[in-house]
Structure 1
Amino acid sequence: MSDLTDHYQPLPGTEGVPAPPLEEMEKLRQGRGFSYRPRTRHLLPGGWARYTNRLFLETSPYLLQHAHNPVNWFPWGDEAFELARRLNRPVLVSIGYATCHWCHVMEEQSFEDETIAEFLNRNFIAIKVDREERPDVDTVYMTAVHAMGMQGGWPLNVFVAPDRKPFYGGTYFPPSDYPGGLGFTSLLQRIRESFLAAPERVSRAGVQLTEAIRTMLAPTEGEDSWQEVSLDQAVRLYRDRFDDRNGGLVGAPKFPSSLPLRLLLRQHLRGGDRQLLSMAELTLQRMAAGGIYDQAGGGFHRYATDTAWLVPHFEKMLYDNALLTMSYLEGFQATGRAEFAKVAREILRYLQRDMQAPGGGFYSATDADSLSPEGHREEGVFFTWTPEELTEALGEERGKLVAACYGVTRGGNFEGRSILHRDRSVAELASELKRSEQELELMLSDCRELLYRARAKRPLPLRDEKILASWNGLAISAFARAGLILANRDLVQVAAEAAAFMLQNMMQEGRLRHSYQEGVARGEGFLDDYAFMIAGLIDLFEASGKVRWLERSAELCATALEQFEDRELGGFFMTGPYHEQLISREKPAYDGVIPSGNSVMVMNLLRLNSLTGDRRLLEQAERALSAFAAQLARSPIALSEMLLAVDYQQQIPKEVVIVAPAGRPEAAEPFLEGLRRVFVPNRVLVVVCEGEELEQAARLIPLLEGKHAEADRAMAYLCENRSCRRPTSDPEEFYRQLTGTG
């Protein structure tokens, strides 16, 4: 082995601090190389990084991005906090994720700066955390920042004592002072001075913040009843803040998740309020036409920075696209608008093409930034166009047509370049261009494919190749539901392959792991991991008819109940007995860009109860709803996803059973076609063939008792509370039963 000092320069300001394990890092370096980390400014001759810290031993893409900072980063763990206690130093806990734009900015400005790094290394213990690997740590310290009266975000930088209690924090800090605020350098100096000069005040602040965190992470208590929760109150709040020009809520930035479209569609179905349907339609239309939607490659960016959905933050997240797929599918069913189904197909094609890992799982995200032609890392350059680039990719005639259809101009609408978007419908464009709608649609489809291939030759945005159980659960749901609603068995197969990957690679000792990276499953599964995977497997069972997926879902549900349920008050904690005990244990009570584990878990329990008839599941669901009843009554929009579960239970879900003759699953297809034509969100579905398949399923699903096909024809049963209407072998009669017209 070569002299280790040839490759590892001492980190500035680390005298008296244990050095990183150089021999272990050298063994890993020989296998990994430095190719994954191209953008450190500190290079030695030959292209080796000048500095390497302990993060080099990690697998998280975000931590590896910081492995060659001059900062002496530690991963989260006892070693760092014990060292802080021994040296009597404050701890900087810096939290972010691999595709976070402002995390990159702060890294370049501060964590790559040798002067700042030296001060940090001499006076602090610095810890880096990937929020996607440790959402529990992120939640605790994000709540601390909220308790200080600040707006949260990433990067999240929190100063904590060696006992892990926070005493100050914030998000992005520029390196130098600016009008109205301290820069990072000055802040570090003041934090260090306060920690040494006023330890009692720092300790008191830590105690107060910790108490505030514990209070904020617990649901609101009260005497309210979930049975009396009214969806009208939540819908009224959304109606009052609706942007009737662009859809979504008024103001910017605009997040797709800020308006719960699936809730609006259910409330329209319940009461017939056409305005709610119009709100959902307009939002779905405007988002799909805007720059927030990747017109060339499919899929949605994270959010829009403006009011018209035009200028996105160009990051793409697996969870956003899985959740939006389900919104567009339900929008398609509720309205019959084919363009909504088209968007859902395009999102899923994007996920398969750009985000699917070998073996069937799905990667987490892609970055907003990429390299420009001049070699600078810039946000959005990969996704934007100039007229000349369109001509080069498409030819002059089609380049002009696409420029006219997608708003590409010489001046551009973003940093001198143009974000593809549609201001007018295909019908309006076809009339203006004197072409038929069908001809124009086909031409634009061909052009989008050519643009996708042309831009694939550009430097690609970084892709975070962590495979997370929770987000993959959402993806499984999206593909399974799309396969059922769009009559596409290939999409159901994608969901099955992803589920098989997760169950084969991320189950250990009967427990679900949180993440998978470089062939290794890591971390105990959190509530979200279990809840979203359970939901995905239920959806996959309904779409495929394979009872093994329902069996695995029930097994995961039993484990989740054992590990996470609050048996005293109801509901579920984020962490279980195998997780590290932090200064507070969260019971998730907020549906943000991702639904809370509690909201999804309640719906899982209700659906599994409908399928299996297990009354205990219903009792646990209703106990959870009672735990959040006060919050649902006083601040319903904080738990908009849980309102779907309230609606499910208040409306009495339908139980749909279709039994096909033995060996002839295709006989069920005419009945499924009728089900696709109707928006029936509150229902469970069982499709099974007579014979061994029916016998196996009936052991888990008592609803199947006495159900059978009729000779060579499938039979459909529509039931509520185990009471069924007259069974029918006529698909049109079944359709009339679903719509309430027969």
Structure 2
Amino acid sequence: MNKLAQETSPYLLQHKDNPVDWFPWGDEALNKAQTEDKPIILSIGYSSCHWCHVMEHECFEDFEVAEIMNHYFVCIKLDREERPDIDAIYMDALQNMGLRGGWPLNVFLMPDTKPFYGGTYFPKKNWINLLLSVVNSFKTQREKLQESADGFARSLNIKDSEKYFFGQEIQEIAFSGDEINQILNKIQESYDTIDGGMKRSPKFPMPTIWKMLLDAIAYFPNEKHINQLKLTIERIILGGIFDHISGGWCRYSTDDKWKIPHFEKMLYDNGQLLSLTARANLYFKENIGFKQLTDWALSSTVAWLEHEMSSAVGGFFAALDADSEGEEGKYYVWEEKEIKEALAEKSDYFIQTYKVTAQGNWEENKNILHLENYPENFPTLVESHKILKNKLLNRVRPGLDNKILCGWNALVLNGLVETLRFTDVVFPIDIVKNGFEFFENNFMVKHGDLLRLKHQAGHKDNLAFLEDYSSTIAAFINYYQYCFEEKYLNYSLQLTDYLIDNFYDDSENLFYFTDKNAEKLIARKKEIFDNVIPSSNSMMAHNLNLLGRIFEKESFLEISETMFKKVKPLLIQDPQWLSNWVALGMYFSAQKHDIVVVGPDYKNILKELQKARFLPNAIFFGTNQTSNLPAFEGRLLNDNQTRIYICIDKTCLLPLTNLNEAIEILKQ
């Protein structure tokens, strides 16, 4: 048993019995490297990573490999989900070396933690050859290695304004019509118009891109983009990437048709896909088939979160592994005979609809369940899903990563809140209430700062990252527009003030990923490009824009606009990887709605107004009591009548008392 036995991360604990003398990242390992003058192997992964498991089995469980690693190196294992700051630094370093990134990420460092070489997955023979080559180079070419490592460390510290040519003077913050067309046409070049998503394999859902597109067509309708959005959402629900039996989306599809998933399920994907699907459910609400399909996906995913991903102490777990009993996907796939036995007389329709065969569409005559089209008799299938779900109780479940991560929990709460705000899907509100109470009691600490994670065993007090703050602030703003408790807006304000004091770089008008009080590493990075999770800077620019509007704080609006101006020239060239910035630009370019309801029936009226039309640039306010929010100034009349105020671009219509009149105005 090595030093990882005292850790709480499921990923690190998976390696505690390896013959490799693993250390967690920390002073003990780093001091050992300096004292013994040994290079460091930094091996980074996460618990649900299939190829991390493969490399562990082939290399790190092997005594021959372990002997070489232990003799010549200080070996450090890192959970990238606990320390995304370290992961980002060394992933950038690998890419600066001209090498392909991914996980497992294995990087060789000098004793001072500067990187000089690395890679991802290596089979045993290749890994041994690489180890011996590095050992030889460290002995015979030490100066060259150090020179190379120093160079990579310098490259990691190049300012983003120099790296991406920021700083051009942009006067106009709103997109012109030509710029909108240019952005959407650029994205359209990659459309897979047959199977949805983008033309690539493997296929990731990339909800940020499709949320941006939905925001864009809400204000600038275009039939091609509307059709592509609808097709994409349908395919990622009908395809095998969605778990038709238990609910929830897998991380990505290994093929280009969404049929064959990589079976791991990540919390952050499901939170964002809930949000995207809920928004699309409202936008396409007149399409009965689409609404039924998305209602089913939303309700089954919420049930999966409630029953499989919820902690007894509160909060949501991080991930489910792709593997069970040593096989990828074993928990999720079916033999034809199993379905016949379970469903009896209902099996014929199910087998015909899902095209289940004795030969299977997966390994060892197994079938991955996916649909080609929305079936006519869908309720019959749903009843069969319930029967098969009970059969899963007899199977060995995939490994659970029980980390409770601040930012990922915020993404899920955001998705749950938007499901409540925008759809008719019904689920226990306590899931959401308890989630936000858990935040208040566990992640929020004094002075406005946050913690990154809570384990089942209790707190591990490492400071949160910009990703955590940005996601949390967004969730609080969203939740206010459902519960209308102003404390959540005040929390957002408190956290934002802390960020500006401790994360903001006013020389580049962007936020660092790490707190100025955090551990000092070889670089302090800023996250700009959107990926499977929107970049923390783009999320924060959105938050500042919203909070600036809510509290009428010009300083917040100025920071948001300045951040956007920095990135605007870049996003017009490469909108796919800056799609959340594009969404912000759409907000700057579209009408802004402020909808204020005051009086005894404000909650019921706001519930209806939010479902009247998809208005992504609207902020909804409501109260029946005294408030300091600027939106309520002069509007609290205490006459027991409920009034509706609709303001468009800071011009307010006369107050209304009739809900239907207000709905008709919003639909115009």
Shorter-chain TM-score above 0.5: yes
The equivalent of 1:368 in structure 2 is 322
Identify which of 431, 453, 467 aligns with 1:515. 453
Identify which of 237, 240, 248 aligns with 2:186. 237
Letter in 2 for 1:679: F
The equivalent of 1:414 in structure 2 is 362
Q: CA shift at 1:463, angstroms? A: 0.6
Identify which of 120, 128, 132 aligns with 1:185. 128
Query: How big is each residue's C-alpha offset from its partner over 1:469-526, in whole Å with a ceiling of 9 and x where there is no partner?
Result: 0001111111111111225685554222111102201223332100111122431010
Residue pairs, 1:350-365, within 5 angstroms:
350-365=304-319
The equivalent of 2:608 in structure 1 is 673
Letter in 1 for 2:617: N
Which 5+ residue runs of structure 2 have no aligned equivalent? none
Identify which of 392, 409, 432 aligns with 1:455. 392
- Is 1:501 the counterpart of 2:449? The answer is no
Identify which of 267, 283, 302 aligns with 1:348. 302
Please say which structure displays the higher CA radius of gyration.
1
Residue pairs, 1:269-348, within 5 angstroms:
269-336=218-285, 337-338=290-291, 339-348=293-302
Structure 1 CA distance for aligned equivalents of residues 660 and 494 of structure 2: 37
Structure 1 CA distance for aligned equivalents of residues 598 and 430 of structure 2: 21
Identify which of 167, 185, 192 aligns with 1:222. 167
Letter in 2 for 1:204: E
The equivalent of 1:152 in structure 2 is 101
Q: CA shift at 1:464, angstroms? A: 0.3
Residues 475, 709 of structure 1: alpha-carbon distance in 2 compared, 3 angstrom cutoff:
farther
> Contact 1:469/1:533 (CA < 8 Å) preserved in 2?
yes
Describe the SS at the equivalent of 2:206: helix
Identify which of 131, 136, 140 aligns with 1:197. 140
Q: CA shift at 1:252, angstroms? A: 0.6
Q: CA shift at 1:709, angstroms? A: 7.0
Residue pairs, 1:138-177, within 5 angstroms:
138-176=87-125
> Contact 1:484/1:492 (CA < 8 Å) preserved in 2?
no
Letter in 1 for 2:302: L
Structure 2 CA distance for aligned equivalents of residues 287 and 216 of structure 1: 38
The equivalent of 1:730 in structure 2 is 658
Structure 1 CA distance for aligned equivalents of residues 94 and 608 of structure 2: 51
Identify which of 618, 622, 639 aligns with 1:687. 622
Structure 2 CA distance for aligned equivalents of residues 487 and 244 of structure 1: 30
Q: CA shift at 1:671, angstroms? A: 4.9
Describe the SS at the equivalent of 1:263: helix
Query: How big is each residue's C-alpha offset from its partner over 1:363-385, in whole Å with a ceiling of 9 and x where there is no partner?
Result: 000000001xxxxx100010000
Residue pairs, 1:606-685, within 5 angstroms:
606-661=545-600, 664-665=601-602, 668-685=603-620
Structure 2 CA distance for aligned equivalents of residues 614 and 579 of structure 1: 29
Describe the SS at the equivalent of 1:425: coil
> Contact 2:205/2:252 (CA < 8 Å) preserved in 1?
yes
Query: How big is each residue's C-alpha offset from its partner over 1:63-92, in whole Å with a ceiling of 9 and x where there is no partner?
Result: 010011000001111221221122221110
Structure 2 CA distance for aligned equivalents of residues 238 and 155 of structure 1: 30
Q: CA shift at 1:123, angstroms? A: 0.6
Describe the SS at the equivalent of 2:316: coil
> Contact 2:173/2:561 (CA < 8 Å) preserved in 1?
no
Which 5+ residue runs of structure 1 have no aligned equivalent? 1-51, 177-182, 372-376, 428-439
Residues 491, 634 of structure 1: alpha-carbon distance in 2 compared, 3 angstrom cutoff:
farther
Describe the SS at the equivalent of 1:460: coil
Of the structure 1 ranges 575-584 and 116-125, higher mean CA displacement relative to structure 2 is found in: 575-584
Residues 369, 309 of structure 1: alpha-carbon distance in 2 compared, 3 angstrom cutoff:
same
> Contact 1:318/1:471 (CA < 8 Å) preserved in 2?
yes
Q: CA shift at 1:124, angstroms? A: 0.6
Q: CA shift at 1:650, angstroms? A: 2.2
Letter in 2 for 1:544: C
Q: CA shift at 1:447, angstroms? A: 1.1
Query: How big is each residue's C-alpha offset from its partner over 1:15-69, in whole Å with a ceiling of 9 and x where there is no partner?
Result: xxxxxxxxxxxxxxxxxxxxxxxxxxxxxxxxxxxxx000001111110100110
Describe the SS at the equivalent of 2:644: strand
Of the structure 1 ranges 109-118 and 255-264, higher mean CA displacement relative to structure 2 is found in: 255-264
Please report the RMSD computed on the Cα atoms of aligned residues, expressed in angstroms.
1.8
Letter in 2 for 1:654: H
Residues 124, 172 of structure 1: alpha-carbon distance in 2 compared, 3 angstrom cutoff:
same
Structure 2 CA distance for aligned equivalents of residues 266 and 679 of structure 1: 9
Residues 708, 487 of structure 1: alpha-carbon distance in 2 compared, 3 angstrom cutoff:
farther
The equivalent of 1:480 in structure 2 is 417
> Contact 2:208/2:533 (CA < 8 Å) preserved in 1?
no
Letter in 2 for 1:501: F
The equivalent of 1:4 in structure 2 is none
Describe the SS at the equivalent of 1:716: strand
Structure 2 CA distance for aligned equivalents of residues 301 and 650 of structure 1: 34
Letter in 1 for 2:501: E
Query: How big is each residue's C-alpha offset from its partner over 1:247-273, in whole Å with a ceiling of 9 and x where there is no partner?
Result: 001121000007711222222223221
Residue pairs, 1:584-623, within 5 angstroms:
584-623=523-562
Residue pairs, 1:103-122, within 5 angstroms:
103-122=52-71
Number of positions where the alignment pairs a residue of Structure 1 with one of Structure 2: 654
- Is 1:89 the counterpart of 2:38? The answer is yes
The equivalent of 2:404 in structure 1 is 467
> Contact 1:675/1:735 (CA < 8 Å) preserved in 2?
no
Structure 2 CA distance for aligned equivalents of residues 462 and 186 of structure 1: 32
Letter in 1 for 2:663: Y
Describe the SS at the equivalent of 1:418: coil
Structure 2 CA distance for aligned equivalents of residues 516 and 214 of structure 1: 31
Letter in 1 for 2:583: L
Query: How big is each residue's C-alpha offset from its partner over 1:664-712, in whole Å with a ceiling of 9 and x where there is no partner?
Result: 45xx4245324303010011111222xxxx31xx21x111112247955
Residues 258, 208 of structure 1: alpha-carbon distance in 2 compared, 3 angstrom cutoff:
farther
Residues 530, 243 of structure 1: alpha-carbon distance in 2 compared, 3 angstrom cutoff:
same
Of the structure 1 ranges 468-477 and 575-584, higher mean CA displacement relative to structure 2 is found in: 575-584
The equivalent of 1:718 in structure 2 is 646
Structure 1 CA distance for aligned equivalents of residues 428 and 412 of structure 2: 11
> Contact 2:282/2:423 (CA < 8 Å) preserved in 1?
no
Q: CA shift at 1:217, angstroms? A: 5.9
Q: CA shift at 1:200, angstroms? A: 0.9
> Contact 1:99/1:367 (CA < 8 Å) preserved in 2?
yes
> Contact 1:671/1:735 (CA < 8 Å) preserved in 2?
no
The equivalent of 1:5 in structure 2 is none
Residues 524, 543 of structure 1: alpha-carbon distance in 2 compared, 3 angstrom cutoff:
same
Name the TM-score, length of structure 1 as normaliser: 0.85
Letter in 2 for 1:302: R
- Is 1:573 the counterpart of 2:512? The answer is yes
Residues 272, 633 of structure 1: alpha-carbon distance in 2 compared, 3 angstrom cutoff:
closer
> Contact 1:160/1:167 (CA < 8 Å) preserved in 2?
yes
Structure 2 CA distance for aligned equivalents of residues 569 and 259 of structure 1: 25
Identify which of 29, 46, 50 aligns with 1:80. 29
The equivalent of 1:551 in structure 2 is 490
Letter in 2 for 1:681: P
Structure 2 CA distance for aligned equivalents of residues 670 and 506 of structure 1: 33
> Contact 2:606/2:620 (CA < 8 Å) preserved in 1?
no
The equivalent of 1:34 in structure 2 is none
